[in-house]
Homo-oligomer: A and B are copies of this chain.
Amino acid sequence: MPKEHTDLSKLCIHTITTKPWNIEEAAKKFSAVGVKGITVWRNALEEKNIKETGKILRAHDLTIVSLCRGGFFPNKDPNKRQEAIDDNRRAIEEAHELGASMVVLVCGADTTQSLEESRKQIHDGIATILPHAADAGIKLAIEPLHPMYADTRSAINTLAQANDMAEVLNSQWVGVAVDVYHLWWDPNLEKEIKRCGKSNNLFAFHICDWKTPTTDMLNDRGLMGEGCIPIKKIRSWVGDAGFNGFNEVEIFSNAYWKEDQDIFLKKIIEAYQKHS
């Protein structure tokens, strides 16, 4: 088992986790309790001056870990695929303006075509935006999503698939994001974490928990410790694979979003220290 977290120097929280707070409020609150990292969801930047927002976050001593999210490449309609490419280029520009070093890719899927075709379009989409990412100095993290999202959110559903794709694209700017929620069930997880460690493709580590029962397929994630995911064990694999970045708390939860977010933030800190 990995060492206990004795401080919050490697704790990052996604803005979506505390969705009711706007980004300035989130930055202030995170910073006040000692959180050192923030991952910014693009909705939090709407109608904001992105450069100024980046300055505010850094003024709160926050590292901007990632921008969430690019992706959604597959579409039967080539015009829609081009729109996705354009949007991913904008995401890269936004990350650059913000001062984030990485864009997380939720790769997408289109129910009107085969998963194989969607996967090919994901590959081609990433290959197309890659020079732009390299120019901007922005890393792209392919995030495999749980197979229950294979219909519309991602045709990349295992870390093996994400590793395959990153290795084929073979660029220092393309790697993978390991999210325990999506991958905990996979019997090959330890092996595949080792693999992306070795290939220098392990870019990000996201944590939360799987609740029993899960009452909503999207917005019922649990705090670390509330579910059955062996988070510490997976963190030990990630650590052994050489990852030394932030542990990013990414929780979508209708229940927690209804709570007082100050109390929720306290719970996050406690859960992080005890159960991750």
Check A186 for interface membership: any CB of B closer than 8 A.
Answer: yes
The segment from A10-18, A72-80, A151-159, A196-204 found at the interface with B is A151-159
Using known A-B contacts A147-B147, A148-B146, determine if residue A187 contacts B210 with beta carbons closer than 8 Å.
no
Give A201-243 interface residues, CB cut-off 8 Å to B.
Answer: 210, 212, 214, 217, 227-228, 230, 233
B111–A147 CB distance below 8 A: no
Instruction: Give the residue of B111, B161, B212, B217 whose beta carbon is less than 8 angstroms from that of A151.
Output: B212
B111–A228 CB distance below 8 A: yes
Check A114 for interface membership: any CB of B closer than 8 A.
Answer: yes
Which residues from chain B contact A227 at a C-beta distance below 8 Å? 111, 151
Using known A-B contacts A151-B212, A210-B151, determine if residue A185 contacts B115 with beta carbons closer than 8 Å.
yes
CA distance A274 to B168 in the complex (A): 39
Check A268 for interface membership: any CB of B closer than 8 A.
Answer: no
Instruction: Give the residue of B147, B151, B228, B230 whose beta carbon is less than 8 angstroms from that of A186.
Output: B147
Residue with the highest number of chain B CB atoms closer than 10 Å, among A147, A158, A184 = A147
Check A44 for interface membership: any CB of B closer than 8 A.
Answer: no
- Chain B nearest CB from A204 CB (Å) reads 21
Residue with the highest number of chain B CB atoms closer than 10 Å, among A114, A210, A217 = A217
A114–B230 CB distance below 8 A: yes
Which residues from chain B contact A114 at a C-beta distance below 8 Å? 230, 233
CA distance A236 to B119 in the complex (A): 21
Which residues from chain B contact A119 at a C-beta distance below 8 Å? 187
Which residues from chain B contact A45 at a C-beta distance below 8 Å? none
CA distance A217 to B210 in the complex (A): 14
A152–B185 CB distance below 8 A: no
CA distance A152 to B212 in the complex (A): 8
CA distance A157 to B189 in the complex (A): 13
Write 5 A-B pairs (CB below 8 A) sorted by A numbering.
A147-B185, A147-B186, A148-B148, A151-B212, A158-B187
Having A147-B148, A151-B227, one finds 11 other A-B pairs with CB under 8 Å, namely A115-B185, A147-B185, A148-B148, A150-B184, A150-B185, A151-B210, A151-B212, A151-B214, A157-B185, A158-B187, A214-B217
